A = this chain, B = another copy of it.
Amino acid sequence: MNISLTTGKSISVAKGESILNALKRHEIYLVSSCGGKGTCGKCRVRILDGKYKTTVTGKLSQSDRDKGIVLACQTFPEQDIAIEILEGSKLVVGDKIALAKSKDLSELFKSLDGEIALVVKRLELELPPPTIEDHISDLERLKRELDIRGIKGMRFSHGFLSSMSDAMRNYDWKINLAYVDGPEAIFVSAGKDIARCGLAVDIGTTTIVIYIIDLSDGKLIDVGSTYNSQIRYGDDVITRIIYATESNGLNELREAVVEDINSLIETVLEKHHIQRECIESAVIAGNTTMSHIFWGLDPKHIREEPYIPTANFFPMWRAGTAKLYINNQAPVYTLPCVASYVGGDIVSGMLASKMHRNPEIALFMDIGTNGEIAVGNKEWLITAACSAGPCFEGSGIKHGMRATEGAIEAIKIDPKTFEPSLSVIGNTTPTGICGSGMIDAISEMFLTGVVDQKGKFVREIKTDRLREGDEGFEYVFYKGNKDIVLTEVDIENIMRAKAAVYAGISLLIKEVGFGLESIERIYIAGGFGNYLNVDKAIILGMIPDLPKEKFRFLGNASITGTYLCLLSEKLRKEAEEIAKKMTYMELSVSRNFMDEYMSALFLPHTNIGLFPSVEKLLK
């Protein structure tokens, strides 16, 4: 029997085998934090066609079941079957594009004069086994050996003691003592050491990415990514903060993200036959809210004026306390945040950009679920959050979606017929429009006169692409079983977002007494940054009208920064220096920001003079 997927791929499934298992055998991984017991309710798929047996669990609502949604671990095909893997259910492990970047990572690390300097140190010890005469306890035996070597003041925790005695005996008293600065003993491993690996995590509001790294040489062993399951509690950080203040909300949010990370870790470790205990160190980056939730800290004060996080600089903690599925005693480092809306992901990304080391003035932008910007060089750094909102990731846009298969990612409109030509991710039937598609759409509509400077449809134009829908006027990009449109309300939302970004950049550069023209380099980070058409974004008026060669795309710079911090304590310190050095501007309370924002609510801007290249194009 076969299971056919919406991607066109078809995989075999044995009689009595669950869909989850069949997919796993073909290296298609779903989120299944319960390990396939039907209790986490995460491996959701929709049955499009075919007969199957399934166990109904409380984890699916009636409306889910009406739609043909089942849990893959509880569902057993009885004949050929066609399924759709639901967006939030998929783990991506072994992403080829990311793995191809492995060499770039090593080179970046080298270019930062990076010498591997791990946070977990090792001390090879051979202890005399206990006898009736030499009957001191295991811990005192270890301390005596440390004394002989002149190592003073080592601290020992409950977690260390719990596993120490068995390990000493298992390794026949020839051991490696793993410790961190303090010094604090963290665990005992075999004298001849096994693999030493590390975990790097980027907790995005929408997406979670992990790297598993070989710490001996910095090689990327594998990557994994998935949607942040917190999405079910709201798309943006504000909704999640509100949810966190409800009875058990904070715990639920924390568990959701930890289970996502653990599912990814487990899948990668299983694939590569790496033991959990070998992951001896972890580095995590996320925006301030994600970092707080990961830490189990109530984020409520982040949302209320004067917007104060509990911490920006987090202490080191242990994987066991954090409940990460790696060595329980592994130290977990959290990239420092700057303020309530500029987090460790930005600090991590800036470290990866190296802009804090260069004399040239650079602009760093990360337009993901939130929008953060920073300007500066090796002398100074200033940053702000511009609350662009999650519309570029599809939220709040009628047919908006993330940049995955089926998303319209690029658009061209014929200036005479007003007919669009589309580029769809995966070259398949379009199912929505993603951020870069939205930017293309509006700038093309503007250039061809479908919308005016205010983003309103020019109703006089002759085309049946423009029509009146349920929610007012809309432009139809695709006609099919399900039309794909952009409504005037959608455009308004996108205009607000782009105005917030532009106003933020503009105000930040003015704040330090420079003009936009002094920006010598623009780094675009974030998943979104990978697909951004700079020309179109300039026409939209989202980013300053600067020469194309000044732009650099960093992709997910946050995970790159965590990779760097995993390998080098020196680079951790450097990240901390960045966080300390950054001046944070609270735009939400600035009257100048409102002025800038209002001026930016046009295509490309009230003052067209700021966009000479667009002005030229319009002529």
Contact = CB atoms under 8 A, between A and B. Distances in A.
A138 B311 contact: yes
Contacts of A317: 157-158
Contacts of A584: 135
A321 interface: yes
Interface stretch (A114-122, A199-207, A302-310, A375-383): A302-310
Nearest to A590: B132
Contacts of A586: 132, 135
A297 B162 contact: yes
B309 A157 contact: no
A417 to B, nearest CB: 53
Copies in the complex: 2
Nearest to A131: B306
Contact of A306 (B132, B155, B164, B305): B132
Interface in A124-174: 130-132, 135-140, 155-158, 161-162, 164-166, 169
A310 B165 contact: yes
Nearest to A589: B132
A339 interface: yes
Contact of A296 (B162, B307, B337): B162
Contacts of A301: 138, 165, 169
Contacts of A298: 165-166
Contacts of A165: 297-298, 301, 310
A352 to B, nearest CB: 24
A384 to B, nearest CB: 12
B321 A158 contact: yes
A309 B137 contact: yes
Given A137-B310, A311-B140, A305 B132 contact: yes
A312 interface: yes
A514 interface: no
Given A131-B306, A308-B130, A589-B132, A139 B313 contact: yes
A312 B161 contact: no
B132 A315 contact: no
B310 A164 contact: yes
A310 B130 contact: no
Q: Is the interface of A mostly helix, strand, loop or mixed?
A: loop
Interface footprint category on A: 35 or more
A382 to B, nearest CB: 14
A233 interface: no
A586 B131 CA distance: 11
A584 B134 CA distance: 11
Contact of A161 (B130, B166, B169, B310): B310
Contacts of A137: 308-313, 337
A325 interface: no
B310 A139 contact: yes
Contacts of A553: none
A386 B364 CA distance: 73
A611 interface: no
A295 interface: yes
Chain B CB within 10 Å, residue with most, of A138, A169, A337, A589? A138
Contacts of A313: 137, 139-140
A311 B161 contact: yes
Contacts of A321: 158
Interface string A316-339: 010001100000000000000101
Nearest to A312: B137
A136 to B, nearest CB: 7
A173 B226 CA distance: 41
A161 B297 CA distance: 7
B310 A135 contact: no
A161 B340 CA distance: 16
B135 A312 contact: no
Contacts of A308: 130, 135-138
Contacts of A296: 158, 162
A165 B310 CA distance: 6
A487 to B, nearest CB: 36
Contact of A135 (B161, B295, B307): B307
7 contacts: A135-B306, A137-B313, A140-B313, A158-B315, A158-B322, A164-B310, A165-B310
Given A130-B308, A132-B305, A137-B313, 19 more contacts: A130-B306, A131-B306, A132-B306, A132-B589, A136-B308, A136-B312, A137-B311, A137-B312, A138-B301, A138-B310, A139-B311, A139-B312, A139-B313, A140-B311, A157-B317, A158-B317, A161-B297, A161-B310, A165-B298
